Structures are given as C-alpha cells and as structure tokens.
Structure 1
Amino acid sequence: MTDRSGVLSYIIEQYYSGDLETAEAVTGYSVKQIEDWCSGQRQPQHITVEYFIHRAFTPEFQSVVEFAEFKPDQPVMAQLKTLFKGHEDRAGIYAFYDSMANLIYIGKATNLVKEAYSAIRRDVDIQFPAGIRKKPEKRYEIVRYISAYDVGSSDWLDYPKHVESLILRISKPVLNKNIGHIEQAFVPPGAD
C-alpha cells in the first residue's frame, strides 16, 4: 500500500466509519474507485486525498428555512420548533428580519431552537425617535421573518462563530451589539 492509499484508508475508517457508501455519497467518488485506492490497486492523486480530508473536516452548510413568516401574536416556541424541524438541536446560524425583510439580528447557536427562542424573547434595546408612542419592548414584536442554517459541526473549529462573525462584520444588524471579530490573515515576512 502506498502512503496516499494508507492516508485515504485511514480517513475512510476514522471519518466515514469504514462505510464506503457513505464516503461515496459525501465525496461523489464511486465505491469501486475508493476500494481500488484503499487496497493499493490504484494510486489516488494528491488532490484526491486532500479532497477527502476537506470533506471529512469541513461541515456542509444547509438551509433549514429562509424568510419564513413569523407571527408575533402566536406562541414563539411552537413556531420555532415547526420552522427548525429536524434541526432543532443542531448547531447553526439564525437571522431575524423586520417587516421590510431588513436583517435586524443574527445569532449563532449550538442548539438552534433553544438559542433562537432565548434571543427572540430579549428586550429591544435601541433608541426609537421621540415621537413613537408605542415602542416595541420585545424582539418578537418586530420580527416578521426568520432564516436558519445548519452549519454542521467540527471537533476543532467553531464554524457557527466564524460564519456569524463574518455576517456581522458585513451587515451590522441593528439589534446586535457585537459586530463580530475576524482574525487578520497571516502575511509571511517579506511578502509586502
């Protein structure tokens, strides 16, 4: 067995539980190709091994719901459970929009339902013009649409945090206090 075949065999065993059909579904390579590479009958290319590594370690983002209508006069938790069905306990990103579909809040979650529920029930702590008499007190009073994305998980990186930070830096939603933190890219010495 060659070094690349051994690495590929290790990846299949450790990250796909040795299930070639799962590896086929995730990577798009056929079971026969994977068997040939792992057995050493064929040598996988360097880029093929890197692709398997990438697919094993980088979660695939999935849209759970986009711009789903939220009704402030109906039970909040029941609506969230319906909207996030099948992804309730997953890590993800959720977004709240006002009646004009303007992004007003974005949050990351290790449990979409619990953390979105907590966030939507918080106080609205922004300054409204003095002439507005009936100011909304809770976020659920101004939220009209909700989006949510399952961002998968990784043992090494907090993908929801990085996605949230990027979106916050770009969009600066009015109800978010933090605008996110993105680390500076490393510039090798002398590369100026």
Structure 2
Amino acid sequence: MTDRSGVLRYIIERYYSGDVENACALTGYSTKQIADWCSGQCQPQHITVEYFIHRAFTPEFQSVVEFAEFKQDQPVMAQLKDLFKGHEERAGIYAFYDSMANLIYLGKATNLLKEAYSAIRRDVDIQFPAGIKNKPEKRYEIVRYISAYDVGSSDWMDFPKHVESLILRISKPILNKNIGHIEQAYTLPGID
C-alpha cells in the first residue's frame, strides 16, 4: 500500500512551504484533516493527494482590472501603473477594447506593466477604408478600455500562453496578427 500520508507531507513541505494554514486556505480542507493525514492517523484518498498536487502546480487567476476606462489624452504609463497597481511585475493577460467594448487586442505578459505599455504604443497595422480621414497611427489612440488578469506563475506550465491562445482562437481580435494554436486533444487509450 502506498504511503499517501508521506506523499502529502512531502507536498505540503515542498510546495506549500510547510504552511498547513496556507494549504487549508488553498484546498478547502480543515487543519484537523490535514494534521490527521500528515501524522498517519488516517490515509488521505489518492484523489485528495492529486488535488493537493493540482493546487500546488496550477496558479490561481486574479482579476486585476476589468474594462477600466483608458484616456488617450493622459500619460499612458501613469494610467497603466495605476490600473495594474500591485501586479505590475506579475505574469498575466491584458486586453484592449475599443469604444464599443469590442476586444481589439489580447496579449500575454511575464511583466504586465512593461509588456502592456509596449503593446499599447505599437502602430495600428490594419487597413482602413479609403474614405477614412485622420486614421489612428498608434493603438493608444483607439483603446478605450483595458482589462488585465494576474495568472500567477508555475515552474511547470506556461499558463499565460495557453490562456492567451484559447481566447485568441475564440475571439480573433483585429489587432492580433498571430491567433495562436491549441494542441489537438486525443482520447487516451481505453477512455471513451
């Protein structure tokens, strides 16, 4: 029989920094349940151990800001610093919307502030009809709303890339040139 208590002790020590309270907060189990499992008083079910592993390796997404108004006549960097406050250097996904709240650009970032700032200052690379006068040259001229999400971090998977790719495939924003790709799902042998 596998010593699932020992495995759980290792997971809590290694991936929850030995902090049982943190493990409780992240998994929803009580301190007593975890203490009983770790002491070997009772064995956790295998699905419980797998859940602790999943919670340790899967970052939790947080909304930083959603549909925050962006003003073209104010300094770009100052606005982004204010919007991303506390999450400036975090990995995440950011989105730019036009005046009708249509998604026009989506990006992933290892540093939300730097990369969103770079993206919003890029040229508008789309063809406008010939009759359109005063065509916008930079993205910040057409962005009216911004959303950003802190996607956490993991040593094992590039979650921002996967989240970005999924949203791009569904929404196809006009300013994104690369829509990304999603791996083909295959049925595992013996699973219907």
Normalising TM by the smaller chain, what interval? Answer: over 0.9
Shift of the 152–132 alpha-carbon distance from structure 1 to 2, 3 Å rule, reads same
- Kept in 2, the 8 Å contact 1:2–1:43? The answer is no
Q: Could you tell me the TM-score, scaled by structure 1's length?
A: 0.96
> Where in structure 2 are there 5+ consecutive unaligned residues?
none
What is the match of residue 92 of structure 2? 92
- 1:127-181 Cα shifts (integer Å, max 9, x gaps): 0010011000000000000000001111011000000000000000000000111
What is the match of residue 179 of structure 1? 179
Partners of 1:184 and 1:67 lie apart in 2 by 32
For residue 112 of structure 1, report the CA deviation from its aligned partner. 0.2
Partners of 1:76 and 1:52 lie apart in 2 by 41
**1:7 partner amino acid:** V
Structure 1 runs of 4+ with >3 Å offset:
187-192
Shift of the 6–191 alpha-carbon distance from structure 1 to 2, 3 Å rule, reads closer
For residue 42 of structure 1, report the CA deviation from its aligned partner. 1.3
What is the match of residue 101 of structure 1? 101
Percentage of matched positions with identical amino acids: 88
Partners of 1:182 and 1:131 lie apart in 2 by 38
Q: Could you tell me the TM-score, scaled by structure 2's length?
A: 0.96
Whether 1:115 and 2:115 are equivalent positions in the alignment is yes
For residue 187 of structure 1, report the CA deviation from its aligned partner. 3.3
> Where in structure 1 are there 5+ consecutive unaligned residues?
none
For residue 188 of structure 1, report the CA deviation from its aligned partner. 4.2
Write the mapping of 1:59-74 to structure 2, written as runs, cut at 5 A: 59-74=59-74
Where 1:11 maps in the other structure, the secondary structure is helix
- 1:11-59 Cα shifts (integer Å, max 9, x gaps): 0000011011111111111111111100100111111111111110101
- Kept in 2, the 8 Å contact 1:61–1:152? The answer is yes
RMSD: 1.6
Kindly tell me the number of residue pairs found equivalent between the two proteins: 192
Bigger mean CA deviation after superposition, 135-144 or 48-57: 48-57
**2:85 partner amino acid:** K
